[in-house]
Amino acid sequence: MITRKAEYAIIILTELASHPRGTILTSKQISKNRSIPVNLVVQLLAVLKKAGWTTGIRGPAGGVILEQDPGKINLREVIEIIDGPIGITRCLFRDRPCHDRSHCSLRGVWAKAQQHMLNVLEGVTIQELADSTANDC
């Protein structure tokens, strides 16, 4: 399952993207605007920073700036950066592929189903979400 943290990360990026480029927002502001626990905002921003998408500015009057073009961040990327590789079943995820037999037809079905899901997620960017109206899930 796609975790809540991944959802939060997407929402955080969307919040940043819904302000003029270069705007500084604090964790507290993001937390308040989007109803996400502050601690989680901080925790997730650390990961987003590591991905090179945001920069942190310390001290009072500090905050976070969105560095990457939100039109170039798709949802799959965000999810995988937070949750790790996506896998709708164990055999697509961390377990060995089905007792090491590579041509199991069930595995093929899983892979196909997952790919169709990922195609949708890859097709949506943070920018597009920011352009829509309500995103505070």
Residues that bind a copy of itself (CB under 8 A): 1-2, 4, 7, 10-11, 14, 35, 75, 87-91, 93, 98-99, 101, 103-107, 109-110, 112-114, 116-121, 124, 129, 132-137
Q: At what angle do helices 105-122 and 75-83 cross, to 10 degrees?
A: 120
CB of residue 14 vs a copy of itself: minimum separation in angstroms?
Answer: 8
Nearer to a copy of itself, 24 or 111 (CB): 111
Nearer to a copy of itself, 58 or 94 (CB): 94
Whose tokens are 């993001």? That residue is 30
Helix (H), strand (E) at residue 55: strand 54-57
CB of residue 6 vs DNA: minimum separation in angstroms?
Answer: 7
CB of residue 58 vs a copy of itself: minimum separation in angstroms?
Answer: 30
Nearer to a copy of itself, 57 or 106 (CB): 106
Question: HEC string of the chain?
Answer: CCCHHHHHHHHHHHHHHCCCCCCCECHHHHHHHHCCCHHHHHHHHHHHHHCCCEEEECCCCCEEEECCCHHHCEHHHHHHHHHCCCCCCHHHCCCCCCCCCCCCHHHHHHHHHHHHHHHHHHCCEHHHHHHCCCCCC
CB of residue 41 vs a copy of itself: minimum separation in angstroms?
Answer: 17
Nearer to DNA, 2 or 128 (CB): 2
The residues that touch DNA, with contacts defined as CB under 7 A, are 1, 3-5, 8, 26-28, 37, 39-40, 42-43, 45-46, 49-50, 55-64, 83, 90, 94
